[in-house]
Amino acid sequence: MNKKITVVQVGCGSISKTWLQILTSRDDILYVGLVDINIDMAISKKNEFHLTCDVFTNYKEAIDLLKPDLVIDTTIPKIHHQVVTYSLKAGCHVFGEKPLSDSMANAIDMVKTADKMNRYYSIMQNRRYINNIATFKSIITDSKIGELGSLNADFYIEAHFGGFRDVIKSPLILDMAIHTFDQARYISKCDPISVYCHEFNPKGSWYKGNASATCIFEMTNDVVFTYNGSWCAKGALTSWECNWRAMGNLGAAIWDGKTRPFYEIVSSNDKTSMFPNNYDQLYLETKASTLEYHQGCIDEMLSSLKSKQPSSTDCHDNILSLAMVMGAIKSSKEKRKVLISELL
């Protein structure tokens, strides 16, 4: 693709601005249409980004008329299935916001449609694209702590959103945990086998649904991934990227989601103690600065599209992160361990 990639973006709400900021600053992208059922949203984004493209309220009309190379889906989760399948069937590639879909049945249909139409559908997982997470991952994949046995993520945030998150059944798991679960797959290079999840709504919570949860995932390679999260934490908050601990047979690695990760290996003079207490704290060379968050993910999606390769967050891979979310909700509801294979 040497010519510019023509783009129609569907959904002009909050997150659309991040996509527009990145894509309009690239010289390989040409916006040909903006769509929102609320036309004022589309017009305001067109004006804000000084675009000359057309605006629409109906995505089908825009896609049929403009026949773009690429559709960006920044609508809400329950609309993703219809926008994505229509776009793929019209011959467009699609990059969309997380989560892939609002149900496993819809997600499976979307992946099948991408296959049938021989088009790419990649999902935004911006929290994979952070220099420090890449370094944390390298500590594990370069075997600095030996063989990985367990991975733990703690997420404690006090969030007063208002709106839909305050009233839905599983706000934390449905709307947020996809980031952490996808990060766990990225860091460990392991995929989920089963999940047990207990959701709860602690005293003092201002959410109607369960704003806290604890999950245990059995992963491939005998790795156990545990998650503790809350969106109604009163103090001692973590970063939005979580506090991470990876335990290997030779050492442990820590990342607070913000600063440089480190790992600890028992000191040579303490190796034979009954209760070792001296550990060397070590750091890996930080990765050379690369594009991060949405910018990093979009850049990789576009490079992959141009080289006709699936991106890291291609729908075929990303459906496993969604299955962790849907499996956790099923487990919590049915109060039992759920096999991920039940969902796929």
Ligand X SMILES: NC(=O)c1ccc[n+]([C@@H]2O[C@H](COP(=O)([O-])OP(=O)(O)OC[C@H]3O[C@@H](n4cnc5c(N)ncnc54)[C@H](O)[C@@H]3O)[C@@H](O)[C@H]2O)c1
CB closer to ligand X out of 113 and 223: 113
Q: Which of 15, 193, 237, 266 binds ligand X (CB under 6 A)?
A: 15
Residue 14 engages ligand X in binding (rule: CB under 6 A): yes
Task: Please choose, out of 9-17, 109-117, 148-156, 330-338, the segment that lies near ligand X by the rule CB under 6 A.
Answer: 9-17
Helix, strand, coil content of the chain in percent (nearest 5): 40, 25, 35
Binding mask 71-110 for ligand X (x = CB under 6 A): ---xxxx-x-----------------xx------------
Q: Which of 77, 78, 83 is nearest to 62 (CA)?
A: 83
Q: How far is the CB of 331 from ligand X (least distance, A)?
A: 22
Residues touching ligand X, count (CB under 6 A):
22
Based on the shown chain and the rule CB under 6 A, indicate whether residue 8 belongs to the binding site for ligand X.
Answer: no
- Beta strand 224-230 with 212-219: parallel, antiparallel or unpaired? antiparallel
What span, in angstroms and rounded, lies between the C-alpha atoms of 279 and 266? 4
| Residue with the CB atom nearest ligand X in the bound state | 13
The site map against ligand X for 50-69 (x = CB under 6 A) is ---------x----------
Per rule CB under 6 A, is residue 252 in the interface with ligand X? no
Shortest distance (Å) from residue 220 CB to ligand X? 26
Out of 6, 13, 245, 320, the residue judged to bind ligand X by CB under 6 A: 13
Binding flag, residue 124, ligand X (CB under 6 A): yes
247 strand-pairing partners? 150, 252
Cα–Cα distance between 98 and 183 in angstroms, integer? 13
The CA distance from 166 to 159, in Å, is 10
Element (H, E) at 321: helix 315-334
Taking the complex as a whole, the smallest distance from the CB of residue 249 to ligand X amounts, in Å, to 35
C-alpha to C-alpha distance for 247 and 319, rounded to whole angstroms: 26
Q: Which is nearer to ligand X, 106 or 126 (CB)?
A: 126
How far apart are CB 159 and ligand X at their closest, in Å?
Answer: 12
Q: Which is nearer to ligand X, 126 or 132 (CB)?
A: 126
Whether the Cβ atoms of residue 33 and residue 54 lie closer than 8 Å to each other: yes
* Nearer residue to ligand X within complex by CB, 178 or 197: 178
Nearest distance from C-beta of residue 160 to ligand X, angstroms: 16
* Measured distance CA(152)–CA(139) in Å, rounded: 15
Closest Cα partner for 21 from 43, 40, 45, 38? 45
Beta pairing partners, 262: 254
CB of 321 to ligand X, least distance (A): 12
Structural element, H or E, at residue 34: strand 29-35
- Residue 259: name the closest of 295, 283, 223 by CA: 283
Binding of ligand X at residue 41 (CB under 6 A)? yes
Residue 40 CB-density burial (10 A; 0-12 exposed, 13-18 middle, 19+ buried): exposed
Interface residues with ligand X (CB under 6 A) are 10-16, 35-38, 41, 59, 74-77, 79, 97-98, 124, 126
